[in-house]
């Protein structure tokens, strides 16, 4: 069997391992090691790579940003920022039809700005907002779908762990990617709010209203979210203005949220230890996936699959836009099968060489940033696409009384909003690139 055929054969093997419930990092590691062994017919190559790849992955300065952002999210959760964000949004929007759901989306956007993780945003905001939504007459399916969709803002609104990984894979500037994600992130939140407004008019019995609050209480609730604005402005503004590197910015953000948690008396030794352990667990999981992807992508490079795929696309004469649409549709389908980080690590080394050969009338850097944001949005859609959207399972697990089918029915409206946004951003790249 040729190396190229071996590379193509590895895809169904990888998917088979995933369907057998093997962890995605382990599945990619097995395919990578096994593939290299078969392609080279010796154990020397993969053993040497095992020695070098592990060290280079776990000692990478670029990847040290990940535990810092995860720790920042842990401290932000403990300090009560999530509740303050929801209460502020609730005070201003709760009296409107569907306003509580809009407040949940707004709070998710705010929390995503200091968390960087979709799953963490969805889980944290659900603990805060789900009881309130149920209290004011929101149906279970609509409530869980809203929070699942709002949770996806965690990986789109900077800082974002997934954007950091993408920047490393494509060798792009992290600060510019954060800037490029800002407007699409705002559009996502506004699009979800518009979706909610349409939904509650189509199904008025699915949502209740919160009593209108006086302006004094509204401004008081708004003042409580000042820590979020300070941390977000310091981290993202500092990175964008060159005050410090992204890794330094993440460390500053972790320290800032830690101090806020300490001064709010939410932080004691037991809580601090738990935050460190949770951060270490999350970092270990991400790094293991990165390691598995490194081996698997090294095997694919050895078999020349990315280069062959790029050459095949070029020889077919497809227009750049056709190729882009095909890739985005592939991501939508793949999003039903695996998590966002695994998708990025598995596919970007294959698709990025293809995209680089196409002429979109932009510089390579602009194409890389624009493509990255599009991919991030489509990956985000995968988190709420039935039947295997990760956010759907997390939210539904926190509300066992709501049937999963009810969540599926409601979340399709948010998926439609995402698809419309992808089309707009694909047709008008300037929306993404205007801030870089």
Q: For 127-178, what is each residue's pLDDT tens digit? A: 888 888 888 888 888 988 998 898 888 888 887 888 888 988 888 888 889 8
Residue 388: the pLDDT is 67
Which residues have a Cβ under 8 Å from the Cβ of 135 and sit 6 or more positions away?
Answer: none
Query: Over 80: is that where the pLDDT of 208 sits?
Result: no
Please state, in angstroms and rounded to a whole number, the distance separating the CA atoms of residues 394 and 72.
21
Residue 423: the pLDDT is 93
Q: For 24-62, what is each residue's pLDDT tens digit? A: 788 888 988 888 888 888 888 778 887 787 887 777 777
Q: What is the mean pLDDT of residues 340-355?
A: 84
Query: Over 90: is that where the pLDDT of 312 sits?
Result: no
Residue 184: the pLDDT is 93
What b/e string do you get for 170-196 counting C-beta neighbours within 10 Å, with b at 16 or more? bebbbbbbbbbbbbbbebbbbbbbebb
CA geometry: angle at 98 spanning 339 and 424, to 5°?
A: 50
Residue 249: the pLDDT is 85
pTM (2 d.p.): 0.85
């Amino acid at each position: 069997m040729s190396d190229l055929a071996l590379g193509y054969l590895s895809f169904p093997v990888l998917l088979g391992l995933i369907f057998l419930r093997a962890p995605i990092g382990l599945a990619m590691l097995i395919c990578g090691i096994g593939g290299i062994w078969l392609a080279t017919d010796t154990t020397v190559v993969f053993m040497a790579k095992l020695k070098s790849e592990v060290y280079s992955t776990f000692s990478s300065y670029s990847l040290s940003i990940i535990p810092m952002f995860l720790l920042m999210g842990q401290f932000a959760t403990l300090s009560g920022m999530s509740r303050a964000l929801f209460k502020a949004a609730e005070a201003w929007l709760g009296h409107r039809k569907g306003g509580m759901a809009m407040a949940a989306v707004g709070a998710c956007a705010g929390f995503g700005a200091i968390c960087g993780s979709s799953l963490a945003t969805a889980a944290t905001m659900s603990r805060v907002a789900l009881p309130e939504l149920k209290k004011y007459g929101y149906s279970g399916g609509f409530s869980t779908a809203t929070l699942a969709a709002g949770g996806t803002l965690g990986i789109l609104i900077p800082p974002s762990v997934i954007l950091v990984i993408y920047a490393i894979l494509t060798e792009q500037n992290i600060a510019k990617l954060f800037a490029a994600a800002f407007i699409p992130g705002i559009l996502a939140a506004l699009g979800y709010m518009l979706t909610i407004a349409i939904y509650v008019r189509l199904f008025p019995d699915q949502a209740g209203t919160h009593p209108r609050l006086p302006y004094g209480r509204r401004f008081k609730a708004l003042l409580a979210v000042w820590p979020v604005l300070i941390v977000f402005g310091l981290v993202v503004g500092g990175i964008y203005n060159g005050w410090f590197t992204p890794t330094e910015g993440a460390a500053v953000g972790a320290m800032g949220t830690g101090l806020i948690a300490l001064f709010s008396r939410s932080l004691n030794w037991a809580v601090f230890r738990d935050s460190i352990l949770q951060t270490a667990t999350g970092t270990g999981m991400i790094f293991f996936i990165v390691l598995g992807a490194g081996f698997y992508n090294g095997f694919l490079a050895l078999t020349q699959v990315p280069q062959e795929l790029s050459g095949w696309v070029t020889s077919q004469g497809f227009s750049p836009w056709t190729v882009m649409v095909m890739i985005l549709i592939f991501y939508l389908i793949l999003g039903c099968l695996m998590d966002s980080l695994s998708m990025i690590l598995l596919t970007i080394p294959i698709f990025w060489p293809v995209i680089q050969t196409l002429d979109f009338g932009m510089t390579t850097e602009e194409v890389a940033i624009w493509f990255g944001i599009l991919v991030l949005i489509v990956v985000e859609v995968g988190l709420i696409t039935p039947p295997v959207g990760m956010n759907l399972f997390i939210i539904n697990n926190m509300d066992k009384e709501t049937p999963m089918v009810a969540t599926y029915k409601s979340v399709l409206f948010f998926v439609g909003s995402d698809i419309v946004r992808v089309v707009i951003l694909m047709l008008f790249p300037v929306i993404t690139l205007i801030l870089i």
